[in-house]
Amino acid sequence: MSFGSRAAAAMQAYGPACIGIDPHANLLEQWGLGDDVDGLERFAATCVEAFAGRVAFVKPQSAFFERFGARGVAVLERTVADLRHTGTLVVLDVKRGDIDSTARAYADAYLDEDAPMAVDAITVSPFLGFGSLTPFFEVAELNDAGVFVLALTSNADGHEVQHARRGDTTVAGDVLARLRALNGDARPMGPFGAVVGATIGDADWDLDINGPLLVPGFGAQGGTVADIRRLFGSVLDHVIPSTSRQVLAAGPDVAALRASAASVNAELVGS
């Protein structure tokens, strides 16, 4: 099955929420864990126990594992494998972007199904030029994986680049249009998605790219169900709201984490 098909099926089965796995230092402390590899391992194992096979998507933030060096990356690799064995789709937040052979190497590292760190989808940055992402799209297509391209991000400074004019459109508008063309008429949706923040404010964007829309900024960052309804309107069935702190604050109790994730999904489905 293509990533678009798997994503649609997972959303139907579990709800649309994507739960971030962000083991930053403050959260490790909040969970009573050390800011070290042992703490990281316990955090990751708890998240796997809580979310594997119970939510549609999880989104590990690679940087919070990489900061511990090779041992941290090994924890990430095991976490990804443990989650994927249960059918939960893993979107690895790496925001990679490069050119030529380097982009191909990144794509092979994460999107080739035979790679040690193979995931279902990754985040990438288009700001070296949209054409620089071609290797990611090619490898993803060969492996039925997905790619989420930064378009309208939730950080306060994103508009400096994303709202800049490019001819008769904006940089973000051009990214969205190119994704729309890549996805074509795929059903139930294409495999190539956009990252669009729940806190972007302005609803005057054509967000119908016939692909999944990964929506950070929901929950603790201030984005609400009302914001999602207003921004995404007719494409709500393609929206994957992403939250981490709102759910992870319930840890380290596994039952509380599960209940928090279920509450988020219930709130979203009820919208």
Catalytic annotation, residues: 95
> Which H or E run contains 195?
strand 192-196
36-45, 78-87, 131-140, 215-224, range with the lowest pLDDT: 215-224
At CA 110, angle to CA 268 and CA 21, rounded to 5?
40
Give the other-Cβ count within 10 Å of 49's Cβ.
13
Indicate the pairing of strand 169-170 with strand 165-166: antiparallel
Could you tell me the pLDDT band of residue 271, with boundaries at 50, 70 and 90? low
**Is the sign of the CA dihedral 75, 90, 202, 162 positive or negative?**
positive
CA separation, residue 49 to residues 160, 215, 251, 258 (Å): 40, 24, 12, 9
* pLDDT per residue as tens digits for the range 173-222: 999 999 999 999 999 999 999 999 998 877 788 999 999 999 998 876 77
245: tokens are 């702190």
- Please say whether the beta carbons of 79 and 64 come within 8 A: no
Q: Where are the beta strands (DSSP E) in 36-132?
A: 57-60, 89-96, 121-124
Q: How far apart are CA 152 and CA 95, in angstroms?
A: 14
Q: What pTM was computed for the model?
A: 0.96
CA 83 to chain centre: 15
Closest CA to 197 of 177, 218, 183, 180: 218
Could you tell me the pLDDT band of residue 266, with boundaries at 50, 70 and 90? very high
* pLDDT per residue as tens digits for the range 145-156: 999 999 999 888
Domains and CATH numbers, the chain: 3-270 (3.20.20.70)
